[in-house]
Amino acid sequence: MNGVLTTNRTGETVENDNVGLIGVGVLMATSVVGYVIYRWRQEARLSRIKIWVNDYLRVWYGERPGRVKIICSHDSLWPVLVGLDTPATGIRHSLQFACQGQPSAWTLVSEKDEQR
């Protein structure tokens, strides 16, 4: 790595390698901050989806069904899978939601009963 030529207090020209190290450090710190922000946004999205799905189920069934399992990926293109027992009959259901974009665009894609 080539350093930057600088002049010290005595007037001598010296090579300064710290500039390159500082640049690498800033690049690494920026990368870490970007990754932390990305993960924070993904976790916030997952939390919003879980709240939305639970609200949807409360409205659909009149109460929150038992044994709800929500499987949600960090990838917005993958569907959200939900397994639940219906409140009245206890039949196991599988639901699939599309949760791309804004919450107003989230929708139920499919629903089916599961055999036990």
How buried is residue 92: exposed, middle or buried, by Cβ count under 10 Å (0-12/13-18/19+)?
middle
Largest CA distance in the chain: 88
Residues in contact with 4: Cβ distance below 8 Å, sequence separation at least 6, in sequence order:
15, 16, 19
In tens, the pLDDT along 50-101 reads 999 999 999 988 888 878 999 998 888 899 999 988 877 778 889 999 998 8
- How would residue 4 be classed by pLDDT, with cut points 50, 70 and 90? low
Instruction: Name the pTM for this structure.
Output: 0.71
